[in-house]
Amino acid sequence: MAKAHGRLEVRQLWIVACSAQMQTYLHQTWGWPGVQWCGWLRYERRTARRHSSSWQLWVAGAAFDWPLSAPQAAAYLRGHWSIENRVFYVRDTTMQEDRFHGRAIGPNLSSIRNAALTLLRTLGTAYIPDARRRFATFSDLGFHLLC
């Protein structure tokens, strides 16, 4: 259970070791070789006005070859989403990467956006939009970041 940003979140995770039959099924049907753990993940979010819950299937591969407990798996999943929120969410919302669909130049534009995000993070602000506003306010700041 976590309480932050004006909401209460409850996460529950059930995991089991995949049997040989389940591994064969996942490999043949979905193309997922080496799955060793599977289970269900339940999210429940409550705010003052709204309540929502959802279920998701969870699988883990050969990277977890030791006995994995539910708290360990939950910590790994939360770590994965921190990467998702720190990198991809910022690229999608702040840098509006999904708005431009240049297929031929996409990788090059992505590299430029990554470089820009890295430079903006060196300003020491908590959030990328704050760094962009600071950058827009002080026009000579770009030269200092590049040098």
Residue pair 16/40 in contact by the 8 Å Cβ criterion: no
State the Cα–Cα distance between residues 89 and 96, nearest whole angstrom: 10
Residue pair 141/134 in contact by the 8 Å Cβ criterion: yes
**pLDDT given for residue 103 in this prediction:** 62
Q: pLDDT tens per residue, the chain (147 residues)?
A: 666 667 788 888 888 888 889 889 888 998 888 888 888 888 888 888 888 888 888 777 766 556 777 788 888 777 777 766 667 777 777 777 767 666 666 777 778 888 888 888 888 888 888 888 887 888 777 777 776
